[in-house]
Every structure is written in structure tokens, then in C-alpha cells.
Amino acid sequence: MSYISMNLVTMFYLIASVCFIQALKGLSSPATARTGNAFGMSGMAIATVTTVALIFKLQAQAATTGGLGFGLVLLGVVVGGGIGAFAAKKVEMTKMPELVAAMHSLIGLAAVCIAVAVVAEPWVFQITTAGVALPFGNRLELFIGTFVGAVTFSGSVIAFGKLSGKYKFRLFQGAPVSFPGQHMLNLGIAIALVALGLVFCFAPGIEPAWTPFIIMAVLAFILGVLIIIPIGGADMPVVVSMLNSYSGWAAAGIGFSLNNSMLIIAGSLVGSSGAILSYIMCKAMNRSFFNVILGGFGGDPAAAAAGGAQEQRPVKSGSAEDAAFIMSNAETVIIVPGYGLAVARAQHSLKELVEKLTHKGVIVKYAIHPVAGRMPGHMNVLLAEAEVPYDQVFEMEDINGEFGQTDVVLVLGANDVVNPAAKDPKSPIAGMPILEAYKAKSIIVNKRSMASGYAGLDNDLFYQANTMMVFGDAKKVIEAMVKAVD
């Protein structure tokens, strides 16, 4: 390839990298998220077109006949892009976490497939020439990329099944799956993976050491399953962010092997941002960051079962009309959205209710817990879909101090994130930061039933003297509130 052509490739990759950095910056706030998405799509388009052009030129220089390789690349771009566009257009808001987990699995699988291709024919990727063995550094990079990619793929498949809740297979159930000696088994597999990786890296001769490489990949797939199955549904938001980080590091590892600066930069951005997000989520759930990385935070099933034993206590219930009357006569209202709001797809009705309350002079704000829903930022995305003004949406640390002076708190489908049991040192969720809705003068909670949340704990908030339960589907209840306000 000529000097000028290589400069152009480098320049376009640099432009794409800048777009990715701007995308992350934009996605850090709901107000700039759409701009961030635009940057991300632009960067990926530039990177894809540049890579396809590079492949075409390399194939032309190699005097390849038939054009099958380039045709397959174009076919992959068209088919993959079409499937992605269709899935994104058709996916429901409640299914967004499953879609994210599925995308992570594909990134991990792609990393493994690329590593296999590089090990088989490194000269095609211009890493070596035919008849020359892979250098140690490249072997090490391929080992790391394969290991992380395989763990990401199988772990994401399990996460997809747990989030979907459609499958009866036990590994896909929301409840943690544990067995005696589980952690020791994970440790043994991890040690075996390192040993096999070293054998692969130090293997003499020109021919690649396929046996340790294949065994290593298989064990990595198994380890990905084992580190996710002990994690319950309540912890899925952290799992999604953790797997997001893993997928980034897998891409970065393969980028080093291919000497592709674009993959290295993009993978590092995703990996580091996912790790930071995982740390933030861990703080929000009072989890150990290192236990999350090692997949050891599924919780004690016995404790969860004990917490799930609910005491029969009387609750005060009312109608949607009662709730509307209370809010209409309040000065300040804080709304706490949860997964139940997403399931009912009631965000548009909620926006209408807020507009009518605001028209009556009521000050309304939204309070968002970092782990509300089934993935990081789930509630922010839900409200953004309904075009809720960003200046009405507040994160937990910014609004917690206002609950004590708030007239009414409306909790919609949320449970564990407002459970005062987190303040009890003896509770299984002790220390978990919560939205302090229990401090408000009046509390209205909308749920379908008195069922516990993902943590399996009874919620003391429901039994407070100043709490009124409004049972029913969130959308129907909110629509009734809208009519009552009118």
C-alpha cells in the first residue's frame, strides 16, 4: 500500500475515534444523548467504510481473482446492518436490556472468530509472512482476546436468557444458580486457562499450538456461563454494564493483534467506560467491584429466601381518583419510575399527567435510581422516549435531600430502590443507597400486587401510615389519574 493511502486510512480512523469520544461525552447526559448517538453512528460509518476500502485495496494488490472475499465482506455489512436496523426498530422498551446483552454476545463471538482466523493464517492479516511463526507478543494478545471474547459471549447469552424470562431452562431463570464448590471450580478453570495460554504462547515451531488454544477457548466459554449463573435478576443492571466492559476489552485485544488502531481505541473506550459504569452501579447497590468482575456477587440464596418470607400486615389502599386528588392539592410532587412503568409502557400517559399537574401549579420532578429497571439508564431512556423535559429528571444524589420537604411521592412500579429496609444493618440489602421516598409527607405507590421486588424482600414503605397503595396496571391507573385531574 502506498504511503499516501496509509495516511488516509490513519486519518479516517482518527476521525472515527474522535467521533466515538464525542459519543461517550454526549451519552453522559440525557440532554445530549441524541447528539452522542449521532456521533457514534457517524464514527462507526466512517470506520466501516474505511475498513471495507482497505480490504478492497489489499485484495487488489494481492491480485485475488473472483472477488469472493470482498463480496463476503459486503454481504456481511448488508445482512448484519439490516438485522440490526430491524431489531432496533422492532424492539420494545422492556426488551431493550435483552437486545443489549445480545449485542455484547456477538462482539465476544466476533473476537473469538477473528482470533481463530489470525492463528490459522497470520500472513493474510500482514502480521507475519508465510512460513514465519507468530511472535510471542501477538500470541499473548490473541490469547487474551480469545479468553475475554469467549467469556463475554457465553456470559451474555446467559444474561440474555435471564433478562428475557421466556425460557424454562434453569440456567436462564432469574434466580441465582449455585452449587457446592462453585467458586473453587471457577478458580480451577481460571488457572487452567492461564496455563493453556502460556503453553500456546511459548509453543515452539511454525505451526500454531491448536490443542491448547481450542481447549482454552472451550474452557473460557464454560467460565462465562459459570460466572453469570449465580447472579440473580436484581443484579442484572450491573451484569449488563460489566459485560459491556468485557466486550470492549475483547475488541481492544484483537485490535492489538491486527495492529488496527481503530479497534484498539474503540475497544478501550468501551472497556474503560463500561468498567467505570460498573463501579458506579456497584456503589448504587452496595456491591464489591472486584466481586462483580469475578462474577461472585450472586448473593446468598438462603438469605434471599429468608428475606422473601413476607409478613402479613395491613396496608392502606385507595383509587386512582384518590391519588389524583392528593396530587392536585399538593405543591410539590416527586415521581419515582420503576420497571413496572416500563412493562406497562405508561411513560406517555405519565407525561400527560405531569403536564396537567404542572398546569395546576404543582411542581413535579422525576427521581431516578442508578439501578432502576433492567439495565443502566433504563428509566432515563424510558422518559426520553416520551420526550419528558430533561430539566425535570434528577439523579438520586441530586434529589434525595428534597424528599423530606416534598408533599407527595408517586412510586410507579419501583420496589427495592425505595425500600427503607436498606437502612437496617440486619437487612440483606443493608447499605444499599435508596431513593428516600419514605421521608415524604404522603406516599402513593402503584403496583399490580404486594409481590416483593428482585431482592425478594418485603418493602416497609408499603406499610407506612402515610402510604396509600393503588393496585393495578400502571398505564390504566395513570390514565384514570389523568381523567380525575381534569
Check: CB of residue 156 under 8 Å from CB of residue 227: no
Tell me which residue of 166, 165, 160, 219 sits closest to 189, measured CA to CA. 219
Contact 61, 126 (CB under 8 A): no
Contact by Cβ (8 Å): 153, 221: yes
Cell of 326: 392528593
* Cell triple for 169: 431452562
Which residues are catalytically annotated?
416
CB of 466 closer than 8 Å to CB of 443: yes
Cα(467)–Cα(9) distance, rounded to whole angstroms?
Answer: 62
Sheet order of strands, 393-395 included: 393-395, 363-368, 332-337, 408-412, 442-447, 467-471
